[in-house]
Amino acid sequence: MDYRQLFRQMGLISRQAMLKMNQQAHSCGLDNNLFLLLTRIVENEGLSQSRLAEMVQIDKTTLSRSLGKLEERGLIVKKTNAQNKKFKELYPSSQALKLYDQLIGFENTCASQALQQLTSSELFQLQSILAKIETAKL
The predicted-structure confidence for 47-79, as pLDDT tens digits, reads as follows: 999 999 999 999 999 999 999 999 999 999 999
Contact 102, 28 (CB under 8 A): yes
Q: How far, in whole angstroms, is CA 60 from its chain's centroid?
A: 15
Q: What is the DSSP letter of 87?
A: -
- pLDDT for 15-51, tens place per residue? 999 999 999 999 988 988 899 999 999 999 999 999 9
Q: Alpha carbon 29 to chain centroid distance?
A: 16
**What share of the chain in percent tops pLDDT 70?**
100
Please give the mean pLDDT across all residues of the chain.
92
Q: Which letter does DSSP use for residue 75 in this model?
A: S
Give the predicted TM-score (pTM) of the model: 0.88
**C-alpha 135 chain-centroid distance:** 18
Q: Which amino acid is at 100?
A: Y
**H/E stretch holding 90:** strand 88-92
CB 18 within 8 A of CB 25: no
Domains of the chain: 9-135 (1.10.10.10)
How deeply is 30 buried, as exposed, middle or buried, from its count of CB atoms within 10 A (0-12, 13-18, 19+)?
A: buried
Widest distance between CA atoms in the chain: 53
